[in-house]
Structure 1
């Protein structure tokens, strides 16, 4: 019964995480493992550093 009550809360939490990009690093790691197994997987910190520096270097790639 409690699990049923928590289902909407978990769905909203997941959706907000998707909007905020919380799952992007894991998706990127999965992509590298499947499509580029020979490349090293960067740390999460390095991933976010690269992602933000790319956006600043090319502001056309951002939506805002």
Structure 2
């Protein structure tokens, strides 16, 4: 009898799910990950000669700006 390979599965789903390792677009929107992507696009469009900061630099600047410019929030 044929011995199934270790990755083969019996039942309705025989192939393992293939994922890119990256969250889906709605999940990225909810977590705020797309903010950096939009920032980079805008930087490149409006300031093509300026270097684009790394994600870490962006997060540091963003946090510093939020701490120095607090906004009142309802919640």
TM-score by length of 1: 0.67
Structure 2: runs of 5+ lacking an equivalent: 1-23
| Count of equivalent residues | 53
SS in 1 for 2:33: coil
Structure 1: runs of 5+ lacking an equivalent: 1-12
User: Which residue is equivalent to 2:25?
Assistant: 14
Which runs of structure 1 show a deviation greater than 4 angstroms over 4 or more consecutive aligned residues? Answer: 61-64
More helix by share: 1
Which gives a bigger RCO, structure 1 or 2 (Cα 8 Å, sep 6+)?
Answer: 1
SS in 1 for 2:30: helix
User: Of residues 27, 30, 44 in structure 1, which corresponds to 2:38?
Assistant: 27
